[in-house]
Amino acid sequence: MEEQQEIEWIGGVSAGQDVTIRLVRMGLATEETLAAVKLHSNVLSTYSKYFNTCLSERWRNLERSPESSKLNFVLETQADVEFYFDCFARMHSPHKRVVFDVKYGLELLKVASQIEFHELIESTSLYLSSTFWSEEDAIRIKEYSSSPDFPHKHATELVDRLGLDTFDKSGDQILQNLIEDFINQIVRTALHSDVTSSHQVYDRQELSARHFVEQLLQGLGPTTPYEFARMVVNLVTNQAKDMVVSFGKECEDILSVEQQCYRGNFENKLVAICWMLKASLPEAKLGKELVSCFAHLDAIPNALGQPFLNYNRMRRVQDCVEELAEVVFLMYKEVVAGHLVLRTPERVALLANWHPLILKKESAPGPVRPRSTKLVVTSQLFSTLPLKVQMEFIRSRKNFSDFIGDYKSFISTLSESWASQSIGS
């Protein structure tokens, strides 16, 4: 049968090779030989710790069989046979450093690790660690690094790049601090609250930072380590809340003077707030905390409704206001859909403080028009409030048409509540 097998002669055909290694398919009940490798025992024992053990007198004596003197071995394959041929051939050419690509290098590393070819493990891991990875490459390498076969001890360069180093507690804390500082810096840049360079350069950095934060938040999921996810959410939440509160105080200052004036980079801050609110909504904890803070800042919509003498700047601010109104309306829809879970005081504040801003066009005088989508969603949000709160809300504003979508249903609710209270008394 051996004549029908593919045979790879390492070191030249019929050059005195005294070891035969049969490569068999892994995991089969019956051995299926894929190929055979012929090579010299002295070379094999020099470069492979695994086969050095197999070739030792002590190991062979344990078998106590005449077959052991024939130096035949069986090796289950974990990769295609071409990588085994290449791996064994490199024992005769230890300075060979050619690796075709990352995928090839990873397969070669698996074989070298299997037979404990330490020199090849080190050189291949060095190649992999110093080469650009595509997204597919990164996935394959990380999957292999999590397997028990990954050679942590000898693939040191690759271990470093993957961040798999075994630190003591102080070293581990240093790494965590570096990660936290990096994310903090990125969030500050995204929120335009840490200006350190020229305007043009900073705009480019700001856009990159915002894209990074968006990807960071979108990547949080069931497979994300809990501690990392918590750290990210806390950092972003704290930075965003600080900025929103600071902007609210700035709006209070604007309202406190007789002639209102938008100061500094007012429009840029509005744009940053719009972006942050929109980016936070898909992440439950971040969205809830940020919107809960934002909803109560009534100075912001009040300041945005003030007239301004500089017409050109007023137009820029108005563009930002329209964008913010759309973001607030998105909050309304998220609450109604059950994606954004807010307590009653926050839902009331969202309606009380922001309703005039997002429905500005709807309240313009003119003939009665069909209810718009914004009014429908507003009435749906209003319906989530307890009836007593609804009554107090309407009484304080002397307006009910924007909040009650179905008069007939609402009247029925009033009568049922009255009846239940009468029975209770």
| Strands across the sheet containing 7-9 | 7-9, 33-39, 19-25, 72-77
List domains and CATH numbers for the chain. 2-162 (3.30.710.10), 172-373 (no CATH), 386-425 (no CATH)
pLDDT of residue 288: 93
CA-to-CA distance for 339 and 335, rounded, in angstroms?
A: 6
Angle, alpha carbons 32-35-36 (nearest 5°): 115
pTM: 0.65
pLDDT of residue 316: 78
Of 119, 117, 94, the closest CA to residue 11 belongs to 94
DSSP 3-state of 335: helix
**DSSP label of 67:** G
Which H or E run includes 269?
Answer: helix 266-280
Which H or E run includes 299?
Answer: helix 299-304
pLDDT of residue 280: 92
Low-confidence ranges of the chain (pLDDT < 70): 1-5, 12-16, 28-30, 57-70, 94-98, 165-172, 193-202, 258-264, 307-313, 360-371, 398, 405-407, 413, 417-425
* Whole-number Cα distances in Å, 379 to 124, 205, 327, 339: 64, 41, 17, 17
Write phi, then psi, for 225 (nearest 5 degrees). -55, 135
pLDDT of residue 308: 59
pLDDT of residue 199: 46
**Residue range 224-277, pLDDT digits in tens:** 888 888 999 999 999 999 999 999 999 998 888 765 566 667 888 888 999 999
Q: CB–CB of 342/285 below 8 Å?
A: no
Write phi, then psi, for 25 (nearest 5 degrees). -70, 135
Q: Which two tokens stand for residue 225?
A: 């380590």
Phi-psi category of residue 11: left, alpha or beta, with phi > 0 → left and psi -120 to 50 → alpha: left
pLDDT of residue 217: 92
Q: CB–CB of 125/156 below 8 Å?
A: yes
pLDDT of residue 7: 82
pLDDT of residue 195: 45
pLDDT of residue 162: 86
CA-to-CA distance for 161 and 157, rounded, in angstroms?
A: 6
Q: CB–CB of 256/207 below 8 Å?
A: no
* Whole-number Cα distances in Å, 254 to 210, 283, 296, 300, 303: 28, 32, 17, 10, 7
Angle, alpha carbons 385-388-394 (nearest 5°): 80
Residue labelled with tokens 């050679």: 151
Q: Report the amino acid identity of residue 94.
A: P
